[in-house]
Structure 1
């Protein structure tokens, strides 16, 4: 089964004093790369969370964010009187020194300054974290479902491209015997232009066989067909195999390149170019496969 590395999941939960929204998204990457935006109160859980997510999601550039909305008015806060007075004195002094007007609403100005308002530090509650873990699991499950859906689209596209290469491989066959006959005719015509020159016909036949064998592409066609079959088999495996598909695509590329170098025929070379175009599209899509 093919899974895409692209995905998105979201889940929310209401706790006694706040609402927590968890979003997780994934893009393609060669390895597991996690970026988190987590409130300080939950930071001690980040290592365990990272290890768990690496097993669940395997690969991808993962972005995990927590959004906290306080819904209770019981959250206690205090004003740092000393710091507020210091801010007031410094602002007043700068006002006289720089000839800048003092603020009209002192309280609104001062209360917005850093660390004037202090909320009582929260402590991590294990029961609360257990609920949050389940919420994270919901978001991850949604992301995995997204990956499966995207993976099905990827699979259809990859199968289409593989079939295109298979059809192009069949289009080569009519030109194979034609180009061999052209080579023979060209060599015979060249020898016929030589006057008063004799040559060993047995040696000539040996050289002709050697030359034709160098142009033979049956082995490359057979190997390419096997690679195409193996690619489809890998798509059918239970676990998504993005890296393995990439290796198979590399082997397909080698056989297609050899076909091109051996073709010695303009129409065959055009077909090889079309094969390369299909293969490049396959390689681009494989980058998104888990």
Structure 2
């Protein structure tokens, strides 16, 4: 079945006091483009996550946003002391005391005022296999939601496209019936005009009939109508395919548009010209919808 290129999925999971959230969205794109935004500490996992996405999505721009946060009730902040910085300050203090013969000594209060000597650090989860798998599972869950949404949207697109092709089939039938009359009328008018122009001259009836037939044949649109009907059948076949068909449908629309343009250029019959305009309008609507199909 058809799949839309537009969708969204989200997964939130808790593990050992950490909340992992993955948001994934896709939009139209001619090719496949994947961008993942995640904490720097976990960038080593990026290629694996991309590989998972590539197996499930063939076309579209994919954006993944991943956050890993410690819940307030589980936050454990570690106090860190920069011992090297403390040593340098104490050495500098000893040098000052010696140089200027000072008796004062640094107190704990003085040391605590030194910038960046003492800092708080929030613990991040260890990057072990269990945590990696947990993040991967979270992505899979968000991806599953995304694909479900793309499938539902694809189903709506399929129904709309079927209706539009059916409208084109009706227009095709109408043009086909008009074409028979149009060719006959053209033949009669040409024959009549030539006779009027050459009324006072000798006419080779067989030659005249042949020339009129050739002119009428140039205006014949049977081949274009036959190919257009074949394209409609191909559309229905593609609408039921499991694999991505967006590019095939796009090409098929170009072919149909070519046939419709040829019909319009060949026919001087006003009623057919009006129907050609209607066909083009439906084709444009189909083309817009197909741009969103994987």
TM-score class, shorter-chain normalisation, is 0.7 to 0.9
Q: Does residue 174 of structure 1 match 2:170? A: no
CA distance in 2, matches of 1:184, 1:213: 9
Larger Rg: 1 or 2?
Answer: 2
CA distance in 1, matches of 2:267, 2:81: 83
The answer for the alignment partner of 1:241 in structure 2 is: 245
Once the 2 structures are TM-superposed, how far is the Cα of residue 195 of structure 1 from its aligned partner? Answer: 4.7
CA distance in 2, matches of 1:209, 1:75: 93
In the superposition, the TM-score normalised over structure 2's length comes to 0.82
The answer for the alignment partner of 1:200 in structure 2 is: 204
The answer for the alignment partner of 2:76 in structure 1 is: 74
The answer for the alignment partner of 1:102 in structure 2 is: none
For structure 1, the 5+ residue unaligned runs are 83-110
CA distance in 2, matches of 1:79, 1:28: 51
Once the 2 structures are TM-superposed, how far is the Cα of residue 80 of structure 1 from its aligned partner? Answer: 6.8
1:250-269 CA distance string (max 9 Å, x none)? 11111111111111111111
CA distance in 2, matches of 1:254, 1:289: 22
Q: Does residue 52 of structure 1 match 2:55? A: no
The answer for the alignment partner of 2:190 in structure 1 is: 187
Instruction: Return structure 1 stretches of 4+ with deviation > 3 angstroms.
Output: 77-82, 116-123
Distance 1:121-1:184 versus aligned 2 partners, 3 A rule: closer
1:184-212 CA distance string (max 9 Å, x none)? 33323322244522221111111011111
Contact persistence 2:235–2:249 (CA under 8 A)? yes
The answer for the alignment partner of 1:64 in structure 2 is: 64
Once the 2 structures are TM-superposed, how far is the Cα of residue 27 of structure 1 from its aligned partner? Answer: 0.6
Q: Does residue 160 of structure 1 match 2:163? A: yes
Distance 1:235-1:77 versus aligned 2 partners, 3 A rule: farther
Once the 2 structures are TM-superposed, how far is the Cα of residue 120 of structure 1 from its aligned partner? Answer: 5.9
When the two chains are superposed, the root-mean-square deviation of aligned CA atoms in Å is: 2.4
The answer for the alignment partner of 2:144 in structure 1 is: 141
After TM superposition, the structure 1 stretch with the greater mean CA deviation from structure 2, 193-202 or 244-253, is 193-202
Q: Does residue 263 of structure 1 match 2:267? A: yes
The answer for the alignment partner of 2:42 in structure 1 is: 42
CA distance in 1, matches of 2:168, 2:125: 61
